[in-house]
């Protein structure tokens, strides 16, 4: 029997999820909801959804649904997810899982009381190159982690398309999650800088130190011309080696073991497909997620909030604990 998945949000992110679901032979699109009725109807017609409308909760109540993917604006993630959890329906929530750490904490609490689960949409945890990097670091292949540097630049259309969400929450949240994953330690202190200050079309640099002593440097910029942004990069330095990674180009390991993987020659990576397939598998098995959890997303939002506080107040922000 096919798994019935519903989608909240028929915008850009929702469209990507629909393309993925339409390729899965064992998944049926139970319904699509969007505040824009025409967008919901159009998406339903293109992808053969069983139901469509403007109210996802009404859809969940009138039609059997095994799981819900939430790809609506960030401010709506928490209320929709709570309603689904109350109905025992697992949710895949696009990033950011919530707009504040406090909201994320309420979701963690609600999940604990529900028979369902939350899978945060931190898609890079399902990327083959990133999983290999995590395996190298986790196995001690480069020794104790000393520093992690990440770059994630986007074109300046993002400043117009997402005027109500800070680049830290929209783009850098990926690298905050990656750093937490790779370093395996919470952050002690954060300093954030932005130039030009108080603008979306700007570069933001966040430096942090985790409780194992590793230094993080995370950068994002929404300043490039369309299709002119350089590829994402990740560099990790350990006591006995390092890793240098550029999306779609190469992955290099240095130290006792030296290797280079030409990613252009590898099979194309499709982390979103892997993420949705993992979501479907966890629904069928009844097992909660392990690759990334609501608690992981909450930990990342604590760091993102500290970075936003640093931008607002100036200076270093120390995290409790």
Q: What is the tens place of the pLDDT at every residue in 29-55?
A: 999 999 999 999 999 999 999 899 999
Cα separation, 131 vs 145, in Å, equals 16
- Whether the CB-CB separation of 267 and 128 falls below 8 Å is answered with no
For position 227, what pLDDT does the model report?
87
Q: Please indicate, yes or no, if residue 189 is contained in any of the structural domains.
A: yes
State how many domains the chain has.
2
Indicate the pLDDT class of residue 71, thresholds 50, 70 and 90.
very high
pLDDT tens string 143-165: 999 999 999 999 999 999 889 89
Q: Please indicate, yes or no, if residue 261 is contained in any of the structural domains.
A: yes
Q: Please indicate, yes or no, if residue 296 is contained in any of the structural domains.
A: no
For position 96, what pLDDT does the model report?
95
Q: Same structural domain for residues 94 and 223?
A: no
Q: Same structural domain for residues 144 and 160?
A: yes
Q: Same structural domain for residues 145 and 46?
A: no
Q: Same structural domain for residues 149 and 263?
A: yes
pLDDT tens string 161-216: 889 899 999 999 999 999 999 999 999 999 999 999 999 999 999 999 999 999 99
Averaged pLDDT, 265-285: 96
Q: Same structural domain for residues 69 and 119?
A: yes
Question: For residue 223, what are the domain limits?
Answer: 125-267+301-318
- Omega into 141 within 30° of 0, i.e. cis? no
Examine the pLDDT at 321 and tell me if it is beyond 80. no
For position 214, what pLDDT does the model report?
97
Phi, psi of 184, deg, nearest 5: 65, 30
Q: Between residues 196 and 268, which one has the greater pLDDT?
A: 196
DSSP H or E run through 113: helix 101-113
Q: Same structural domain for residues 135 and 112?
A: no
Q: Same structural domain for residues 136 and 257?
A: yes
Q: Same structural domain for residues 209 and 252?
A: yes
Residue 202 backbone zone (phi > 0: left; psi -120 to 50: alpha; other: beta): beta
Q: Same structural domain for residues 108 and 176?
A: no
CATH number for the domain that contains residue 14 = 3.40.50.720
For position 33, what pLDDT does the model report?
97
CATH number for the domain that contains residue 306 = 3.30.360.10
Indicate the pLDDT class of residue 61, thresholds 50, 70 and 90.
very high
Average pLDDT over the chain, rounded to whole? 96
Averaged pLDDT, 89-114: 97
């Amino acid at each position: 029997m096919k798994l019935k998945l519903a989608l909240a949000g028929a915008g850009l992110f929702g469209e990507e999820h629909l393309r993925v679901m339409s390729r899965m032979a064992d998944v049926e699109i139970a319904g699509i909801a969007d505040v824009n009725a025409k967008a919901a109807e159009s998406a339903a017609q293109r992808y053969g959804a069983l139901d469509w409308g403007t109210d996802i909760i009404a859809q969940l109540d009138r039609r059997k649904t095994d799981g819900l993917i939430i790809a609506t604006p960030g401010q709506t993630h928490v209320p929709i997810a709570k309603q689904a959890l109350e109905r025992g329906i697992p949710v895949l929530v696009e990033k950011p899982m919530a707009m504040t750490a406090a909201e994320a904490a309420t979701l963690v609490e609600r999940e604990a009381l529900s028979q369902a689960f939350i899978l945060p949409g931190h898609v890079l945890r399902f990327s083959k190159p990133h999983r290999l990097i995590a395996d190298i670091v986790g196995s001690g292949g480069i020794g104790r982690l000393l520093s992690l540097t990440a770059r994630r630049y986007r074109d300046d259309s993002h400043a117009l398309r997402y005027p109500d969400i800070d680049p830290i929450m929209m783009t850098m949240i990926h690298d905050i999650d990656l750093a937490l994953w790779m370093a395996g330690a919470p952050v002690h202190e954060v300093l954030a800088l932005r130039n030009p200050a108080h603008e979306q079309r700007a570069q933001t640099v966040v430096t942090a130190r985790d409780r194992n002593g590793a230094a993080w440097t995370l950068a994002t910029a929404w300043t490039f011309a369309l299709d002119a942004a350089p590829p994402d990069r990740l560099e990790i330095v350990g006591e006995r080696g390092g890793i240098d990674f550029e999306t779609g180009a190469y992955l290099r390991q240095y130290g006792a073991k030296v290797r280079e993987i030409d990613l252009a020659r590898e099979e194309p990576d499709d982390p979103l497909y892997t993420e949705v397939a993992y979501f479907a598998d966890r629904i069928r098995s009844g097992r909660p997620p392990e690759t990334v959890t609501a608690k992981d997303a909450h930990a990342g939002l604590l760091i993102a909030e500290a970075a936003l506080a640093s931008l607002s107040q100036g200076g270093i922000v120390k995290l409790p604990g």
